[in-house]
Amino acid sequence: MNKNASRFLAGPYIIWMIGFTVIPLIMIILYCLTDGDGAFTLANVAAIATPEHRKALFLSLGLSLVSTLICLVMAYPLALILRKRNVGQGSFIVFIFILPMWMNFLLRTMAWQTLLEKNGVINGILSALHLPNLAIINTPWAIILGMVYNFLPFMVLPIYNVLIKIDDDVINAAQDLGASTAQTITKILIPLSLPGIISGINMVFVPALTTFVISNLLGGSKILLIGNVIEQEFTKGSNWHLGSGLSLVLMFFILVSMALMAKYDKEGEGTAF
Amino acid sequence: MNDSKLKRFFQDFYLVFVLIFLYAPILTMMVLSFNSSKSRTDWGGFTLDWYRQMFQSSSIMDALYNTLLIAFISALAATILGTVAAIGINQMKRLPRSIAMGVNNIPMLNSEIVTGISLMLAFLAFGISLGFKTILLSHITFCVPYVILSVMPKLKQTSRYTYEAAMDLGAGPVEAFFKVVLPDIMPGVLSGFLLAFTMSLDDFIITHFTRGAGINTLSTLIYSEVRRGIKPSMYALSTIIFLTVLALLLITNFSPEKSPASGEKEKAGRSRRETARRILLVAASFCVIAAVSFTTYSHYAAARSNELYVYNWGEYIDETVIEDFEKETGIHVIYDLFETNEEMYPVIEAGGVAYDAVCPSDYMIQKMIENDLLAEINFDNIPNISQIDPEYMERSRSFDPENRYSVPYTWGTVGILYNDKLVEKLGAEPPDSWMDLWDEKFSGEILMQDSVRDAFMCALKGLGYSLNSTDPDELNQAKDLLIRQKPLIQAYVIDQVRDKMLGGEAAVGVIYSGEMLYLQELAEGKDFNLEYVIPKEGTNLWIDSWVIPKNAKNKENAEKWIDFLCRPDIAKRNFEYITYATPNRGAFEMLDEELQQNKAVFPDWDSLTNAEVYRYLGDEADSIYNELWKEVKSN
Amino acid sequence: MEHPLIDLVNISKTFDNTMVLDDLCLSVKENTFVTLLGPSGCGKTTPLRIIGGFEKPDTGKVIFDGQDITNLPPNKRQLNTVFQKYALFTHMTIAENIAFGLKIKNKPKAYIDDKIKYALKLVNLDGFENRSVASLSGGQQQRIAIARAIVNEPRVLLLDEPLGALDLKLRQDMQYELIRLKNELGITFIYVTHDQEEALTMSDTIVVMNQGYIQQMGSPEQIYNEPENAFVADFIGESNIVPGTMIRDELVEIFGARFACVDKGFGVNRPVDVVIRPEDIDLVEPEKGTLTGVCTHLIFKGVHYEMEVTTPDGFEWLVHSTDMCPVGKQVGIHVDPFDIQIMNKPESEDEEAVGVNE
């Protein structure tokens, strides 16, 4: 391919990116650095320090960290098992995880309400079995559950994709050299799948940190996350400047995770799909 | 041997556990789609009604059409744009390549909320009015990175020599690309397309921020229904979509017989499967295009010039009324929903969409009048105004002093709904005061309204202050009270009070009187009663009225619309559907006597002595309320 | 009788309904270089993986030094494997790779460092300790894989087509390296390859396998010179396999001509297969030959000429000789009696594949 000429094939998309990715981000920064009258201010960023915003941010950070951790702990063994069962049906496994996405995300999350409610399906089953009832709806635990449920595939797929690229013989070699199953996992598989893990953490942590839908649906609107604050500033409070300021603070965390990702995943192998 | 069997058992067990976790909600939804009871919490027997209703509901079908059309166009555009871009980026030198890939990753890694907001700000800044095209542009923007990500690895695998070999054998560059390179990277392109399609289909947040009026995708339609209680026909639709996709997947994955280990056969099997998959994909796209063009045709077959943009609360009209109006007048109605006054206001203020008729509440109408957002109604065009009971016109003066801007549509009170059995079980007295919502006995059993004014109303009234108080001291007391109440609360909800109370989830809830008729009907046959009480400290008397925004483009149509809704027979039909009290005297007189006597729906005026109508308190007070509310919520 | 170090007893293994090994028996003596040789897909790798512990046989036992290790996991076995694609740990340096097995066994650091130095010296890669795996060529990676295995002082080293991915020159170099290593270390090598030249060069014992059965087992000379069936004859080097009739002991008839040979015990007037290596055919004057034919093909191969001689019955004899015979010339074919190898004709497809015992 004529290198010089075909390079310009990227042109249309680069223009597109400037128009629809870069300029919108500049707009957020503009809004963030001005007040209602258009004067320069840093108050919108500083607003993160007010008690209610700080609380919402820390709560979001806490909940998303916990759910990311749970996702990781759930996803890694799963990816290992799937890797083992991979023989000739890799794409099918991927579909199993993408398939739920065809059922609307809001409906899926709503359905958890039905499952978790005091008189819901799960408690119905538990009662029938004479087991104590589950009372996590409208608590932070329900939000964590919603996050884990919605974002688990984004943890499983990148890890799985890195794991299946590891040659069976590398694992055999480790065992051959005397490593037990546990040692093989900790010394070989986890270090080798680190790009997938990092990318998975990113793909779970970022949406979990910024969600407002899950906390609304499963938290009974009692729990205010930073995503809810921003959403309300834009749709209800109508202080777009403040909303932009808080968004920018979120961007900071996203940038940190992007930087982490770039450091560990230079080859870009840790991708979900 | 035993050891490995045990291991395998645990693995199977874990796989099944995860699958149950992933698919339990989906199964729940499928079951609900056959539930003849409208409530999420009750099983009322098997029915296919929701499937029938789904096909008849124009709002669902429109949303489906929009969703598929947007997903298809944006996936297609993103695939073309992304594939071409991937080839270009692949040829770049190191530095520009990593910059391009970095920017490319932004929409994927950035949180959807920031992407959505940034796009919305940019669209508005450049004067692009929000609507179908802005959703489309946004979807393309976040879909392209997925396409690039799936094409890139295939491009790297593809040897550049195949391209050169094709040129060597006499193919031109374009021919060589289409005949050699493209088939090689086709699997990546296809999976990129599918991924983009899926992502677009499932997106809510970005659509939420970039959509305009009158256009709903399934996601936004569902979100607007969430608070009200999702219609089971939505479950029906999702079930159909899910099963269709599942069937497609099963066919493509399992149709050719599992080939034995022999390499040759396996390859043949795989390529056959690949072919089957391609054929299916083509078939599926064809179906989508066919459906799209058919719907587009039928859409445009209706006259497009004569339009009316209506902005109303969710489930606040009998849909057949809209159809009748369209039939009678030949005006095409574009119908759009909002959930709260606070959400509606900025939309009207920004003017991204020009609505012709809007149905806000009292205090918001006052705010709109004061901010010069409303047009005066020409009452000559609304002869049926005479049907509205003068009492309500009088009451409306508190927010529309000269009755020039609004026509009452519904009215009601806010009160406490309680479950008599549960209250008894908790050892409490039936509530008759707002302060009963602070009773420790009701811990975890209280459903509070999730809107600023209503929540503060409970506290202010409970303290004996006016619900229109702007006194900082009073407001702070109310705030402290609300913070104290928070641990007792099960959830802040809006319309879900209804479903939750019906399901016996909570003992007491703050609710609009309009829900009562419906509730009492459904609670029949249950082992508890749901009672409505207006607390003794007084309450909010609210009126929702039709207004016409100043920037309306079809003011006369809007007046026809309002007049139509004031016709007694229409108002009665509407009332029977939405069950919110009607101010229409003609309609009221047509009702059964039993209904007319229902004090929960039509309370006596003298029982409302302490009732107040919300007033707009000014921007400053508004933001104080918002700040205090945020403090309550984040506590 | 010396005690065998490894004994595979009646091993069978099936993958996806395909029989890969059927009732295989194999003994390996201590301190020998044993090669499993066969075409790809012949089931030669499976015994190696069963010895290594990566596969479990469906039936049969693996005996190691008198102990049944059939169900012992790989990490508990006193043997190490060098894998086909090296299977180095890309997230570790060379030194870390080599130290891996020793660290698992909690050896002292000084011991490990010594071992790394020693192993790197042994594979001629001194000073590579801190290099990354990616910076090494294929041959270098191969040596590291060997170094990583041998630092654990295994009693047996299993090598699964370790030279398969290397180019010709490097392969030859590595063959000599392996022989040297085996002699220096004094341990048992079990080597899998499909390359007959490699097998002939390095092995003490070659096991020729096909379709899950052992075809022949013996020293390289035995395998080459006295193939026991047509498969072995055909697979090891080039050969002319012609149908013949055993007239009586030490006399065989081929295409109507009678050749003296050294084989006995095939009975009288029995149809047999006759194997004659191309370099064992002498082209002589037509009248001096046992058979006559016309030279129909000639290629110069460097070391020798390759010719085809077609006899009147239509058979094309492959002949290697340093003497040239021009195309079209009438020649006689002569074979010395001890260069003729007689084999029983298989009675069925199945029998062709059945293992022949030592």
The neighbouring-strand residues paired with C7 are C27, C63
pLDDT of residue A37: 83
Question: What element of type H or E holds B159?
Answer: none
Exposed / middle / buried, residue B19 (Cβ in 10 Å: 0-12, 13-18, 19+): exposed
By CA distance, what is A193's nearest residue in C?
Answer: C91
Is pLDDT of A107 > 90? no
Exposed / middle / buried, residue C127 (Cβ in 10 Å: 0-12, 13-18, 19+): exposed
User: Which residues of B are less than 8 Å from C71 in CB distance?
Assistant: 1
Q: Does B490 touch chain A (CB under 8 A)?
A: yes
DSSP-derived secondary structure for C230-251: HHHHHHSS--EEEEEEEEETTE
Distance from CA of B265 to the nearest CA of C (A): 14
Q: Does A185 touch chain C (CB under 8 A)?
A: no
**Nearest CB partner across the interface for A172, out of C54, C79, C91:** C54
pLDDT tens readout for residues B345-376: 888 887 767 899 999 999 999 999 999 999 99
Equal fold, C4-225 vs C230-353:
no
Indicate yes or no: CB of B260 within 8 angstroms of CB of C15.
no
Q: Does A191 touch chain C (CB under 8 A)?
A: yes
Question: Judging by DSSP bridges, how do beta strands C251-254 and C240-248 pair with one another?
Answer: antiparallel
Q: Where are the domains of chain C?
A: 4-225, 230-353
Indicate yes or no: CB of B121 within 8 angstroms of CB of A240.
yes
Confidence of residue B259 (pLDDT cuts 50, 70, 90): very low
Q: What's the full length of chain B, in residues?
A: 635
Indicate yes or no: CB of A177 within 8 angstroms of CB of C53.
no
pLDDT of residue B495: 77
Q: Among B277, B299, B321, where does a domain finish?
A: B299
φ, ψ (nearest 5 deg) of residue B426: -80, 0
Residue range C148-158: average pLDDT?
91
Question: pTM score, two decimals?
Answer: 0.83
Strand, helix or coil at A168? helix
Indicate yes or no: CB of A10 within 8 angstroms of CB of B81.
no
Cα separations in angstroms, A15 against A8, B102, B148, B203: 11, 15, 16, 24
pLDDT of residue C299: 92
pLDDT tens readout for residues C212-225: 889 999 999 999 98
Contact residues, A window 67-126, toward B, CB-based 8 Å cutoff = 74, 77-78, 81, 84, 88-89, 91-92, 95-115, 117-121
Owning domain of residue B182: 52-299
The CATH architecture that domain A43-264 belongs to is Orthogonal Bundle (1.10)
Indicate yes or no: CB of A99 within 8 angstroms of CB of B242.
yes
pLDDT of residue B299: 55
Cβ atoms of B586 and A197 closer than 8 Å = no
Q: Does C68 touch chain B (CB under 8 A)?
A: no
The neighbouring-strand residues paired with B307 are B332
- Separation between Cα atoms, residue C288 and residue B132, nearest integer Å: 97
Average pLDDT, chain B: 85
**Nearest CB partner across the interface for B260, out of C17, C56, C71:** C17
Cβ atoms of B431 and B533 closer than 8 Å = yes
Distant-in-sequence, close-in-space partners of C311: CB < 8 Å, separation ≥ 6: C255, C291, C292, C293, C317, C333
Cα dihedral angle (A126, A132, A136, A142), rounded to 10 degrees? -40
Distance from CA of A25 to the nearest CA of B (A): 6
- Separation between Cα atoms, residue C74 and residue A173, nearest integer Å: 9
ipTM for this model: 0.89
Residue range B496-518: average pLDDT?
87
Indicate yes or no: CB of C81 within 8 angstroms of CB of A167.
no
Q: Which chains have at least 3 CB atom pairs separated by less than 8 Å from chain C?
A: A, B
Reading the block at residue A45, the tokens are 């960023």
Confidence of residue B430 (pLDDT cuts 50, 70, 90): very high
Whether B398 maps to a domain, the answer reads no
Fold of C230-353: OB fold (Dihydrolipoamide Acetyltransferase, E2P) (2.40.50)
**Nearest CB partner across the interface for A17, out of B104, B160, B223:** B104
Residue B441: CB atoms within 10 Å: 13
Cα separations in angstroms, B109 against A68, A154, B101, B105, B146: 15, 12, 12, 6, 11
**Nearest CB partner across the interface for A103, out of B14, B238, B349:** B238
**Nearest CB partner across the interface for C52, out of A167, A176, A187:** A176
- Separation between Cα atoms, residue C140 and residue A91, nearest integer Å: 36
What's CA B595's distance to the chain center, in Å? 32
Q: Please, what is the Cα angle at C85 between C82 and C86, to 5 degrees?
A: 45
pLDDT of residue A133: 86
**Nearest CB partner across the interface for B261, out of C15, C56, C71:** C15
Indicate yes or no: CB of A176 within 8 angstroms of CB of C75.
yes
Is pLDDT of B268 > 50? no
* Lowest mean pLDDT across B282-291, B450-459, C255-264, C322-331: B282-291
Distance from CA of B397 to the nearest CA of A (A): 26
The enclosing domain of B500 has a CATH number of 3.40.190.10
- Separation between Cα atoms, residue C217 and residue C35, nearest integer Å: 10
C151 DSSP assignment: T
Q: Among B257, B284, B299, where does a domain finish?
A: B299
* Lowest mean pLDDT across B34-38, B122-126, B226-230, C273-277: B226-230
Cβ atoms of C89 and C38 closer than 8 Å = no
Indicate yes or no: CB of C89 within 8 angstroms of CB of A174.
yes
Confidence of residue B278 (pLDDT cuts 50, 70, 90): low
Indicate yes or no: CB of A273 within 8 angstroms of CB of B109.
no
C155 DSSP assignment: S
Indicate yes or no: CB of B81 within 8 angstroms of CB of A106.
no
φ, ψ (nearest 5 deg) of residue B374: -110, 150
Cβ atoms of B90 and B100 closer than 8 Å = no
The enclosing domain of B201 has a CATH number of 1.10.3720.10
Strand, helix or coil at B512? strand
Question: What element of type H or E holds C71?
Answer: none
One-letter identity of residue A26? I
Residue range B549-557: average pLDDT?
92
Q: Where are the domains of chain A?
A: 1-32, 43-264
Cα separations in angstroms, C86 against A36, C95, C129, C162: 65, 15, 17, 7
Percent of chain B residues topping a pLDDT of 70: 89
φ, ψ (nearest 5 deg) of residue C177: -55, -45
Is pLDDT of B581 > 80? yes
Q: What's the domain count of chain B?
A: 2
Question: Judging by DSSP bridges, how do beta strands B407-419 and B530-533 pair with one another?
Answer: antiparallel
Residue range B585-608: average pLDDT?
86
Percent of chain B residues topping a pLDDT of 90: 38
Whether B357 maps to a domain, the answer reads no
pLDDT tens readout for residues B408-420: 999 999 999 999 9
Residue range B230-247: average pLDDT?
85
Exposed / middle / buried, residue B90 (Cβ in 10 Å: 0-12, 13-18, 19+): buried
Assess whether B205 and B78 both reside in one domain. Answer: yes
Indicate yes or no: CB of B119 within 8 angstroms of CB of A257.
no
Q: Please identify, in words, the CATH class of the domain defined by C4-225.
A: alpha beta
The residues on B that touch C, with CB distances below 8 Å, are 1, 260-261
